[in-house]
């Protein structure tokens, strides 16, 4: 008998292409392709993420036992055919979907091409896992619950937009679904586009905006969707274009593109849509609040029925709509569920993990032994790599007026960084393995002082340059959460929004949104020891057990490698950069910038040759 069973999970030709590697039921590596390709939400084939997963585990492609993708083109074939016959969408769209489905069917060939090998070298068994079964598996099968309701809600995948069931042990019994064309994800997408946010993944902007409005248009918006029995819902087809010939989408080798999904009937109902970049007025804010309220009505209607059907008070959530942290924060108040677990990569990236876990538990009938307690499953940088980078960039660092030093130990590092943050500095914090999922959770984060009223503006001015209505999130020590937030429910992956206690709001204005809430991350010592100790050091200085935590990037995917972190530091006005134990500080202009002020201990005398992108690619090739 082989000593190990390896399963590669893949999400491809869909938003947030990704790969995840499961060995003997344990998740050992997982990452989104966008981090390697440096293109947001990359939607082609995740060849770089696959290479990295294999390399990190020391596996060759030939050693893979199973490969699973979160798509099954044969699922709901009859329903697809009936829809085609009844609605006659454009031939171009049908051909496009067929091409996409054919790639999924020929995964062996596509994977071999992506890895630069011949298909014959792959001895693995290939599996198609239906999209929403993979979503359900990505949450329940790695959750801390032995038994729980499992719910997946998204735009569409394999001709469904929603699925739910009961998870127990290593099985998930499917109990219901909502099929095309009805979709809460599509509903939210259409309203997001109407509000002038056309890019893939812009829904979170509507979530940020709605705190400034009131749901005055909820009665109008209720015309868009009707609620039915047993948690079901139906879209009114006249307001959408996917029901009238289809919505063109592009999922190939780049940022996904989704064309307009709302129809002229919606414009008749609500008035002129907002153009991208146009000024936001109160009507837009109220519409955003109304869209969120409508989504929550439908979502809680569904959850209510699932709770009733399963009899469970525990819930695991996945699918793109599980990224709606605002709705997630209200689940206990609005439904019978009492414990909620949200997958960190709740969107389609998580389907790679779900497909692999589905094969391990349900296809191979092996026991469930893995619980996702942290999200540190991506690439990390060795000391040698960082030292090589430092040496290679030494002239540039000197010209930029940087001082580089090395902390003697973690205690000294945390003390220095906590002091800098307490003084108002903005710190790029790079340590450990990159996070799985779209949230920076203290490994690839930009950190700042939550006590400063001007910190949101400072962050936007210095680095992020994003819309002023979007809030910044707090990372709080788990044991202090209940003192500062109106819920003690753990939120390890920043998937839920809770109100900040009224008496605390004025103390941490930088992380309190306009509606008094915060999209928090609870930090434990076991999940992220260094980050936990940094926040502890900040608390010891200030009495405040939290930091502002925003993703380490500047209008790009979150940084993956140390050179990307350094580039981001150099081209923005960040005050300090931490790469593991090295601390980069800007020397005040009066000191002069003609030379690099470098601590001699920061770089060892003998250095390996610095890595270039080309040498990295060569290494990634298994
Ligand atoms: Fe999905």
Q: How would DSSP label each residue in 162-188? A: EEEEEEETTEEEEEEEEETT--HHHHH
CA of 184 to the centre of ligand 1 (A): 12
Between 602 and 430, the more confident residue is 430
How many other β-carbons are positioned within 10 Å of the β-carbon of residue 417?
22
CA of 255 to the centre of ligand 1 (A): 16
What pLDDT was estimated at residue 611? 46
Between 130 and 470, the more confident residue is 130
Q: What is the pLDDT of residues 233-270, one digit of tens each?
A: 999 999 999 877 677 777 777 888 888 999 999 999 99
Rama region for 471: left / alpha / beta (φ>0; ψ in -120 to 50; rest):
beta
CA of 413 to the centre of ligand 1 (A): 40
Section 285-310 average pLDDT: 98
Which residues make beta-bridge pairs with 31?
19
Q: Is 289:193 a contact under the CB 8 Å cutoff? A: no
CA of 71 to the centre of ligand 1 (A): 10
CA dist 356 and 204 (Å) reads: 28
CA of 600 to the centre of ligand 1 (A): 51
CA of 216 to the centre of ligand 1 (A): 30
Q: 54-63, 104-113, 593-602 — which is least confidently predicted?
A: 593-602
611: which residues sit within 8 A by CB, 6+ positions away?
385, 388, 389, 619
Q: Is the pLDDT of residue 618 over 70?
A: no
Give me 540's structure tokens.
Answer: 């010891």
> Would you state the torsion angle of the CA atoms of residues 302, 308, 313, 315, taken in this order, to the nearest 10 degrees?
-30
CA of 161 to the centre of ligand 1 (A): 8
pLDDT band at residue 513 under the 50/70/90 scheme? very high
CA of 250 to the centre of ligand 1 (A): 15
CA of 156 to the centre of ligand 1 (A): 6
What pLDDT was estimated at residue 243? 79
Q: Is 394:596 a contact under the CB 8 Å cutoff? A: yes
Give me 530's structure tokens.
Answer: 């260094």
SS3 assignment for 328-390 = HCCHHHHCCCCEEEECCCCCCCHHHHHHHHHHHHHHCCCCCCCCCCCCECCCCCCHHHHHHHH
CA of 347 to the centre of ligand 1 (A): 6
CA of 322 to the centre of ligand 1 (A): 10
CA of 195 to the centre of ligand 1 (A): 23
Q: How would DSSP label each residue in 25-41? A: TEEEEEEETHHHHT-TT
CA of 438 to the centre of ligand 1 (A): 15
Q: What is the pLDDT of residues 407-417, one digit of tens each?
A: 999 999 999 99
Q: What is the pLDDT of residues 158-177, one digit of tens each?
A: 989 999 999 999 999 999 99
CA of 232 to the centre of ligand 1 (A): 18
Structural domains of the chain, ranges and CATH numbers in brackets: 6-138+353-363 (3.30.420.40), 155-347 (3.30.420.40), 383-616 (3.90.870.20)
CA of 320 to the centre of ligand 1 (A): 6
> Would you state the torsion angle of the CA atoms of residues 310, 316, 317, 318, taken in this order, to the nearest 10 degrees?
-110
Phi, psi of 108 (to 5 degrees): -60, -45
Indicate the pTM of the whole model. 0.92
Q: Which of 403, 444, 432, 153 has its CA nearest to residue 301?
A: 153
CA of 189 to the centre of ligand 1 (A): 13
CA of 237 to the centre of ligand 1 (A): 21
CA dist 40 and 38 (Å) reads: 6
Q: What is the pLDDT of residues 10-22, one digit of tens each?
A: 999 989 999 999 9
Q: Is the pLDDT of residue 107 over 80?
A: yes
CA of 14 to the centre of ligand 1 (A): 9
Mean confidence (pLDDT) of the chain? 91
Between 82 and 296, the more confident residue is 296
CA of 206 to the centre of ligand 1 (A): 19
CA of 622 to the centre of ligand 1 (A): 29
Q: Is 302:135 a contact under the CB 8 Å cutoff? A: no
Q: 108-112, 341-345, 388-392, 464-468 — which is least confidently predicted?
A: 464-468
pLDDT band at residue 466 under the 50/70/90 scheme? confident
CA of 395 to the centre of ligand 1 (A): 46
The DSSP bridge pattern shows strands 18-23 and 582-586 to be: unpaired
Which residues make beta-bridge pairs with 151?
164, 317
Q: What is the pLDDT of residues 350-377, one digit of tens each?
A: 999 999 999 999 999 999 999 999 999 9
Q: Which of 137, 204, 128 has its CA nearest to residue 173?
A: 137
Q: Is 578:415 a contact under the CB 8 Å cutoff? A: no
Q: 81-95, 107-121, 173-187 — which is least confidently predicted?
A: 81-95
Residue 135 host element (H or E): helix 131-140
CA of 355 to the centre of ligand 1 (A): 12
CA of 196 to the centre of ligand 1 (A): 23
CA of 502 to the centre of ligand 1 (A): 37
CA of 75 to the centre of ligand 1 (A): 14
pLDDT above 90 coverage of the chain, percent: 81
Section 113-123 average pLDDT: 93
Give me 123's structure tokens.
Answer: 């001895």
Q: Which of 432, 424, 472 has its CA nearest to residue 448?
A: 424
In a 3-state reduction of DSSP, which class is residue 409? coil
CA of 131 to the centre of ligand 1 (A): 6
pLDDT band at residue 471 under the 50/70/90 scheme? confident
């Amino acid at each position: 008998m082989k000593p190990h069973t390896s399963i590669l999970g893949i999400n491809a030709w869909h938003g947030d292409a990704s790969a995840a590697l499961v060995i003997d039921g344990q998740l050992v590596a997982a990452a989104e392709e966008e981090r390697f390709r440096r293109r947001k939400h990359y939607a082609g084939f995740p060849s770089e993420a696959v290479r990295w997963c294999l390399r990190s585990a020391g596996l060759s492609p030939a050693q893979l036992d199973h490969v699973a993708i979160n798509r099954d083109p044969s699922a709901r074939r009859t329903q697809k055919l009936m829809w085609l016959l009844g609605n006659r969408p454009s031939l171009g769209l049908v051909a496009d979907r067929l091409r996409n489905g054919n790639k999924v069917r020929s995964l062996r060939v596509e994977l071999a091409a992506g890895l630069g090998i011949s298909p014959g070298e792959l001895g693995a068994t290939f599996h198609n896992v239906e999209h929403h079964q993979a979503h359900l598996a990505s949450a329940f099968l790695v959750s801390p619950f032995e038994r729980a309701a499992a719910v997946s809600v998204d735009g569409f995948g394999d001709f469904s937009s929603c699925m739910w069931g009961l998870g127990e042990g290593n099985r998930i019994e499917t109990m219901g679904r909502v099929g095309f064309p009805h979709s809460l994800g599509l509903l939210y997408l259409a309203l997001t586009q109407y509000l002038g946010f056309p890019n893939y993944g812009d829904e979170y902007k509507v979530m940020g905006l709605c705190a400034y409005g009131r749901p005055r248009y909820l009665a109008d918006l209720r015309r868009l969707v009707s609620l039915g029995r047993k948690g079901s819902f139906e879209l009114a087809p006249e307001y959408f274009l996917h029901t009238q010939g289809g919505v063109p989408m592009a999922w190939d080798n780049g940022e996904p593109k989704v064309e307009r999904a709302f129809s002229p009937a919606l414009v008749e109902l609500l008035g002129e849509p907002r153009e991208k970049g146009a000024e936001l007025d109160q009507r837009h804010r109220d519409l955003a609040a109304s869209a969120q309220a409508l989504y929550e009505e439908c979502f809680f209607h569904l959850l209510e029925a699932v709770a009733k059907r399963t009899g469970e008070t525990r819930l695991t959530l996945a699918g793109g709509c599980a990224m709606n942290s605002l709705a997630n924060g209200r689940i206990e108040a609005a439904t019978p569920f009492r414990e909620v677990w949200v997958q960190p990569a709740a969107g389609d990236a998580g389907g790679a993990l779900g497909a692999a876990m589905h094969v391990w538990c349900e296809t191979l009938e092996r026991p469930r032994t893995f619980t996702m307690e942290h999200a540190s499953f991506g690439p990390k940088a060795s000391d040698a790599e960082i030292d090589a980078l430092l040496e290679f960039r030494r002239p540039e660092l000197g010209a930029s007026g940087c001082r580089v030093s090395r902390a003697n130990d973690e205690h000294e590092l945390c003390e220095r960084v906590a002091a800098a943050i307490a003084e108002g500095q903005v710190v790029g914090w790079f340590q450990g393995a990159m996070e799985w999922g779209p949230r920076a959770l203290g490994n690839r984060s930009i950190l700042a002082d939550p006590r400063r009223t001007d910190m949101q503006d400072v962050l936007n001015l210095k680095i992020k340059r994003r819309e002023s209505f979007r809030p910044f999130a707090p990372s709080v020590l788990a044991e202090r959460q209940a003192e500062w937030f109106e819920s003690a429910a753990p939120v390890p992956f920043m998937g839920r929004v809770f109100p900040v206690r009224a008496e605390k709001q004025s103390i941490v204005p930088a992380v309190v949104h306009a509606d008094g809430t915060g999209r928090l991350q609870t930090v434990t010592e076991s999940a992220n020891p260094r980050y936990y100790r940094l926040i502890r050091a900040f608390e010891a200085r200030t009495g405040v057990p939290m930091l502002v935590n925003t993703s380490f990037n500047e209008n790009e995917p979150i940084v993956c490698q140390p050179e990307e972190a350094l580039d981001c530091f150099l081209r923005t006005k960040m005050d300090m950069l931490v790469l593991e134990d090295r601390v980069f500080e800007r020397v005040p202009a009066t000191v002069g910038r003609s030379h690099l002020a470098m601590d001699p201990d920061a770089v060892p005398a003998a250095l390996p040759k610095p890595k270039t992108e080309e040498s990295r690619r060569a290494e990634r090739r298994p």
